[in-house]
Structure 1
Amino acid sequence: MAKQQFQTEVGQLLYLMTHSLYSNKEIFIRELVSNSSDAIDKLKYLTLTDESLKSLEWTPQISISFDKDDKSLTIVDNGIGMDETDLINNIGTIAKSGTKSFVEKLTGDAKKDSNLIGQFGVGFYSVFMVADYVDVITKKAGSEQAYKWSSDGRGEFEIKPVTKESQGTVIYIKLKDDEVEDFASKHRIETIIKKYSNHIAYPIFLNYKEEVENEETKEKTLESKKEQINAATALWTLPKSKVKPEEYNEFYKSISHDSSDPLLHVHTKAEGVNNYTTLFYVPQKAPFDMYRVDYQSGVKLYVKRVFITDDDKELLPTYLRFVRGIIDSEDLPLNVSREILQENRILANIKQSSVKKLLGEFKKLSEDKEKYEKFYKEFGRALKEGAYQDFTNKEAILELLRYKSTKVEGMTSFAEYKDRASTEQKAIYYIVGENEKILRSSPLLESYKKADIEVLILDDKEIDDIITPAFGAYQEWQFKDITSCEAPSTEQSEEEKKEIEEKYKSIVEKIKSNLGDAVKDVKVTNRLSDSPSCVVKDGNDPMASMAHMFRAMGQEMPESAPILEINPEHDIIKKLNGCADDSLIADISWLLLDNAKISEGIEIKDPIGFAKRLNSVMAKVF
């Protein structure tokens, strides 16, 4: 069969592998053994549920052998195997969005990219760090035809039909000359397996030859040996007291293909109405595909230690898609289908309990501010989604959220905000935008600073603008966006307010007339102290709430015209109030609007007109 080109992204990845400075090359064995374990998992499930495979006689196992003279290492499993389509999809192209995201982050700088490899883990492709070429000989369970996939990792691969008696996969690795001593070694392979794959649930055998001396003749001969080199016990089934921290860490790396230790793990055994075990991990870094629609689930479902699925996104809510781990139920039927899973009461109970357990662990983690800051930097955005999506656990999730503030350095919680507030205050005030610096200098904050009221700075507009209005309240304190709510009350009486409004009534009408449809209204305000004007949203405008809904659905909607508020205590407004030059009033009306928008990080529609008016006004000054 003719040679085929790798998909572009795979080619980039393989180039990086073969030219990598990555020091931890031994992880390729972990990755291949983990793939073998997954293949056995899948076949084991099918032998229990697929009538055509129930009669298959087999003993699940993985075996490793090496040949120093041949400069080779071979890993064999008797799992589900692959057909030609599987080979192309699994090795020739990148089907997994996370891998593609990884490739998109490559910089071309070998050292930086090597660090990325360590963060991400790249499965099968890691073998090309040590291989001159690789042959994959495989036969899919239930198929007659076997295939051989071959590549030197330099841009092409070849697939051809071959003969193979049983199902499963053989990976033959021709080692680079300088890798033979390191990886064609009994002691080295045994050490790597015990370090990374000791708790793979199937036996891993090492086949090797050992020199044996005959006691009588004293002649030395090579004898073939076969030795199991892993514990082959599903780690999650062991009591927590029997599992060492390093064992938890290595098991995480095995199931997640991450090379870093997890940030935390949560191991739970539940007995009672539902009997199940869960072992969840939180990575140190957010998965590369976390914000892609086609993200991969990181949780595997087992029933009585039998693997069921690893791509069901219903096992945990979507906002916890960064969690990796295992759910093992004693009560679900082995032949449970995907459709049944989505509506299964037992699984729903496990899911609900798991969410509460995880949120509780996150709460405990928040007591360590330094560690929680790292966690929140990676996963805070997902938790915000949870406060929006998960009504049942909304209060618990709100406890976990952190925001910047006008009162304190770093991040703060809603509980801390409440503790700092005066006894009269009954709301949590916030301002939303894209740029923290612009938000902190917004004219809208002036009255809050004057009244000594803390305002939270929400500078992730893309998500904050959609979800925060949906929070409703935290412990009976309403959330209030300062761009649409009334300013803090002042000592000004109603009579004084009416007097000021009457005094500036004429100029307000002229400004409103000049601006036309560009504004919804023009008002005098007491919310400003240093700035001449600001723009606010009409909190009662139904279009404002509709805009939130449309953005939540990923659709654009025309923004409502803002309300322009002017500061009657500012010199510009005082002088404008007595001005008789209509053209000057017109220019300044637009400058007040555009300047207010710029101060709040809002793009002005006519920058050329803004510049012309500014020049005109400056010319009149002289």
Structure 2
Amino acid sequence: MKKSFLLLSILAAISVVAAEAPAAQAAFNTPGEKGEKYQFQTEVARLMNIVINSLYKTPEIFLRELISNGSDALDKIRFKSLTDPTALESNPNLNVTIALHKDQRVITITDTGIGMTKEDLQKNLGTIAKSGTSEFLDTLSGDKADMDLIGKFGVGFYSVFLVADKVRVTSKNNNDDQYIWESTAVDDFTIAKDPAGNTLGRGTQIAIHLKEDQDQYLEDARIKELVTKYSEFINFPIYLRQTKTKEVEPEPVAKETKDDDDEEAVVEEAKDDDTKEKAEPVIVAYEEDDLMNSNKPIWIRDPKTVTEVEYQEFYPVLTREPGAKAMAHSHFKAEGDVDFKAIMYIPSVAPKDLLQRVDSVHRNVKLYVKRVFITDDFPDILPRWLSFLKVVVDAEDAPLNVSRETVQSNKGIKAISKHIIKKLFDLLKTLSQDEERYAGFIKEFGTSLKLGALEDKSNVKKISRLLRYRSSDSDKYTSLESYVSRMKKGQKDIFYFTGANVDEIKQSPFVESLLARGYEVLYMDDPVDEIVLTHLGAFEGKSFQNVGKSDLNLGDENEAEANKELETKFLPLLDWMQATLLNDVEKVRVSKRLTTSPAALVANDFGWTANMERLMEGQAKQNKDQGMHQFMKNQKKIFEINPGHPLVLGMLERASKDPEGFENDKQFQEMTRILYDITLVRSGYALKEGVKSFAGRVENMLRVNLNVDTNAEAIYDAPKAEPRDQEEVQAEIDEREDILDADEKKPGTMTAEELNKMLKEFTDSTNPPMPGKKAVPGGRKAEVNVDDIVAKLEAELDLEDVETPKETVHDEL
């Protein structure tokens, strides 16, 4: 770690400008034809090699760095013009222009900024201050290095040598002549006065002679892609100079005529009709500059000056999703540990793969520094549950390393993350005040909130207040806070039940008694709901109670004595049912949660409800963890019977007549099994023995009620299929062999003679002579010739300059 930091620190020192002892920094040679030569120190040459080969992660960064430098130069001349109106007279246009010279394999990047004098070229592009380097390295002693120091030095210009083997910088400052700086990044550079004079007016042009393996940067599309990615929001126009062509009408053709009285030739313009007949359009090449950064960085403006239309128009620009719309947004500025401006968007529609791509959340936060894109690769800037957010952050003084690619300060990133999350909760709180809009948010991103309740421990209380559920009180969404405010006298728990959908939950036997008594039940139709509420445990001191589980506390202790009396009364029936379902249920008991259903299957406090069982079924298949899944799935449930249901009362009467006659009452056992299967389905569980066994029991009950013999079999008479005779089989074999033989011949391998013979046999068998037509002399029919057919077809289609090989003809035929 110490060595890594030392290396980066040394690299950062490369761009420190010498101000104290210029003579000690570079060896000055006698000027020659190519200008004054400056020899890099041995130390500097070695460091330059590291910069080129080790500092940056990807070569494409060079374009971002050079455009950023150009933007800085433009800012400087604009600032200077505020106090010196003549500063812009040399060139009033402020822009950056990129040109691709593909034949020479050169890229030029030209800005009309402040430009550099000869002294500036020497200091800024090549001279290393020995004293400055030593001073910087001295700060590393004693393991007290300040990581933020790295951000104070930049070597962005040197990234050009990632793609170039030679670089020429031509620059013109208002206070000096135009000079050329040139280097191959080996051990020296030269500076010479430009023999061409002042061609720039003002500014800097960087000519990049590409390496052999960097031809991708000669493609217009590649340059546009990188400008859009990194420099789209630069304040100044960025143009790509392109060579285009167009058709131009030629000048009218002139002709000479001779007058009878005058020997001199008279030139007359050709008539329009003649010109139109003879003249053809001329293709003319011309250069045109295409603007590549028309989008404006609205985040740097005061939110009061940005309209809703502008926010909506910027959203698809940020997300690269044409036509996309945002549900809500927050535009804010943060000050403190890190100063930055940001716009945060909530999409109007959740991505289809939202919950499958939570690991790519960091790609949704784009970090800019002074409108220059730095990165969107943040592993930890936001928690996973916020993967739906789209955020742009512009940190003016973000602590970056020398390559401006990786954020070095974890403290700074945590501060940005903290501010974004805080503003999100403010935005959602405001959004929740509009029921209709917030219902749309819950529909799209409710599951993301629930994921946050499970994972984000520091914000779980805030998230719980943002959760919304359907309930028996209203078809609209309700908050947990609202539910608590409507709780009944003596109610200690928040009642909820989970199911596949709201309609299924409403019809569940588990909610019957609660609804009959006037209690409100939350309807949980999201598979993760049960896990979330189990994780939360309580809300404002009220515990969550799943009404599909064993203990149901209705705050009615006075019923305890009545329940004991019911248990005693139904004891014969409970014993008979327990004996019948011994291998399927933990126990049978009288229920206090049923009103209209005869029975219900209840999970114990630590077991799986039907909803949880469905959820874990999918998890087991995905993770192939069948062992634990089967163990939990096979946990026995509690079979509750409704003491007021006619069917149960009838079964009680039958059991009470002969308490000891259980083993001899096969019909009762079958009835109990059928009731158990029906209850399984109504309680949301799957049939353990399958549909066929259940259907068999129901059928037997129907037979008994109709006095039909339970052992009687259905009567049917199905005609038997006859086997094929040998001749039919042989004929099919022969036909199949002919087909296989034909298939084995690859297209294009048959000769013209073979094809003619095959076509003749085909036409002989399918085209007998028409009535009244004479046969061909000799008793033979006319032969079909492939070449004649092809020639005729080509003539009809008027094919021009097409040579059709015979093999291709065979293919088509």
TM-score per shorter chain, which class?
A: 0.5 to 0.7
1:404 and 2:404 aligned:
no
Q: TM-score, normalised on structure 1?
A: 0.64
Q: Structure 2 residue aligned with 1:170, among 194, 197, 220?
A: 220
CA deviation digits over 1:8-39, x for unaligned, max 9?
xxxxxxxxxxxxxxxxxxxxxxxxxxxxxxxx
Q: Structure 1 residue aligned with 2:305, among 220, 225, 242?
A: 242
- 1-structure distance, mates of 2:403, 2:547: 50
Deviation at 1:472, TM superposition (A): 1.3
- 1-structure distance, mates of 2:587, 2:298: 66
Distance 1:393 1:613, change over 3 A: same
Aligned position for 1:142 = 162
- 2-structure distance, mates of 1:51, 1:495: 76
Aligned position for 1:433 = 499
- Aligned residue pairs, count: 463
Contact 1:591 1:613 in 2 (8 A): yes
Q: Structure 1 residue aligned with 2:688, among 605, 609, 612?
A: 605
CA deviation digits over 1:58-106, x for unaligned, max 9?
33598799xxxxxxxxxx998xxxxxxxxxxxxxxxxxxxxxxxxxxxx
Q: Structure 2 residue aligned with 1:595, among 675, 678, 689?
A: 678
1:475 and 2:564 aligned:
no
1:58 and 2:66 aligned:
yes
Q: Secondary structure at the match of 1:425?
A: coil
AA matched with 1:497: N
CA deviation digits over 1:156-196, x for unaligned, max 9?
xxxxx9997794641299xxxxxxxxxxxxxxxxxxx9xxx
CA deviation digits over 1:480-526, x for unaligned, max 9?
11111315355864332222111212221221221123112211112
Deviation at 1:275, TM superposition (A): 1.8
Aligned position for 1:286 = 350
Q: Structure 2 residue aligned with 1:563, among 628, 631, 638?
A: 638
Deviation at 1:426, TM superposition (A): 2.8
Deviation at 1:238, TM superposition (A): 2.3
Distance 1:519 1:490, change over 3 A: same
Q: Structure 2 residue aligned with 1:362, among 421, 424, 428?
A: 428
Deviation at 1:392, TM superposition (A): 1.5
Aligned position for 2:508 = 442
- Map residues 43-442 of structure 1 onto 2, 5 A cutoff: 50=56, 58-59=66-67, 142-143=162-163, 167=217, 169-171=219-221, 199=233, 203-205=237-239, 226=289, 234-258=297-321, 259-293=323-357, 295=360, 297-303=363-369, 305-330=371-396, 332-335=398-401, 344-442=410-508
User: Structure 2: which 5+ runs fail to align?
Assistant: 1-50, 71-95, 100-106, 110-159, 166-210, 247-283, 659-663, 707-813
- 1-structure distance, mates of 2:53, 2:372: 11
Deviation at 1:279, TM superposition (A): 1.5
AA matched with 1:272: G
Paired-residue identity, %: 31
Distance 1:403 1:228, change over 3 A: same
Q: Please, which moves more after superposition, 223-232 or 348-357?
A: 223-232
Q: Please, which moves more after superposition, 593-602 or 531-540?
A: 593-602
Tell which has more relative contact order, 1 or 2 (C-alpha 8 A, sep 6+).
1
Aligned position for 2:647 = 572
CA deviation digits over 1:526-565, x for unaligned, max 9?
2111111001111155999998999889656132221110
- 2-structure distance, mates of 1:169, 1:367: 52
AA matched with 2:318: I
Distance 1:261 1:141, change over 3 A: farther
Q: Secondary structure at the match of 1:399?
A: helix
Contact 2:338 2:398 in 1 (8 A): no
- 2-structure distance, mates of 1:46, 1:423: 75
- 1-structure distance, mates of 2:450, 2:435: 19
Q: Please, which moves more after superposition, 488-497 or 530-539?
A: 488-497
Deviation at 1:303, TM superposition (A): 4.3
AA matched with 1:395: K
Q: Please, which moves more after superposition, 601-610 or 579-588?
A: 579-588
- 2-structure distance, mates of 1:342, 1:590: 68
AA matched with 2:300: T
Contact 1:283 1:322 in 2 (8 A): yes
Q: Structure 2 residue aligned with 1:618, among 702, 711, 716?
A: 702
Deviation at 1:229, TM superposition (A): 8.0
- 2-structure distance, mates of 1:48, 1:588: 80
- 2-structure distance, mates of 1:549, 1:618: 37
Contact 1:303 1:334 in 2 (8 A): no
- 2-structure distance, mates of 1:46, 1:478: 62
Deviation at 1:265, TM superposition (A): 1.4
Contact 2:374 2:404 in 1 (8 A): no
- 1-structure distance, mates of 2:404, 2:616: 31
- 1-structure distance, mates of 2:649, 2:671: 13
- Map residues 414-563 of structure 1 onto 2, 5 A cutoff: 414-461=480-527, 463-484=528-549, 485-486=551-552, 488=554, 493-540=559-606, 555=625, 557-558=629-630, 559=633, 560-563=635-638
Distance 1:490 1:333, change over 3 A: closer
Q: Secondary structure at the match of 1:272?
A: coil
User: Structure 1: which 5+ runs fail to align?
Assistant: 1-44, 66-75, 79-139, 146-160, 174-192, 212-220
- 2-structure distance, mates of 1:621, 1:63: 93
Deviation at 1:306, TM superposition (A): 4.3
- 1-structure distance, mates of 2:293, 2:404: 32
Contact 2:233 2:372 in 1 (8 A): no
- 2-structure distance, mates of 1:322, 1:415: 25
Contact 1:427 1:478 in 2 (8 A): yes
- 2-structure distance, mates of 1:243, 1:207: 32
Deviation at 1:609, TM superposition (A): 1.9
AA matched with 1:441: Q
- 1-structure distance, mates of 2:162, 2:548: 65
- 1-structure distance, mates of 2:52, 2:617: 44
Q: Secondary structure at the match of 1:429?
A: strand
Deviation at 1:251, TM superposition (A): 2.4
Q: Please, which moves more after superposition, 499-508 or 303-312?
A: 303-312
Contact 1:281 1:325 in 2 (8 A): yes
Distance 1:492 1:58, change over 3 A: closer
Aligned position for 1:105 = none
Deviation at 1:407, TM superposition (A): 1.7
Q: TM-score, normalised on structure 2?
A: 0.50
Q: Secondary structure at the match of 1:367?
A: coil
Deviation at 1:295, TM superposition (A): 4.0
Q: Which has the larger radius of gyration?
A: 2
Q: Please, which moves more after superposition, 304-313 or 394-403?
A: 304-313
AA matched with 1:592: L
- 1-structure distance, mates of 2:62, 2:687: 72
- 2-structure distance, mates of 1:247, 1:48: 42
AA matched with 2:697: R
Deviation at 1:422, TM superposition (A): 1.9
AA matched with 2:306: V
AA matched with 2:412: I
Deviation at 1:240, TM superposition (A): 1.6
Distance 1:618 1:374, change over 3 A: same
4+ runs deviating over 4 angstroms: 45-49, 51-57, 60-65, 161-166, 197-202, 206-211, 221-233, 303-306, 336-343, 489-492, 540-556
- 2-structure distance, mates of 1:538, 1:58: 68
AA matched with 1:442: S
- 1-structure distance, mates of 2:235, 2:586: 67
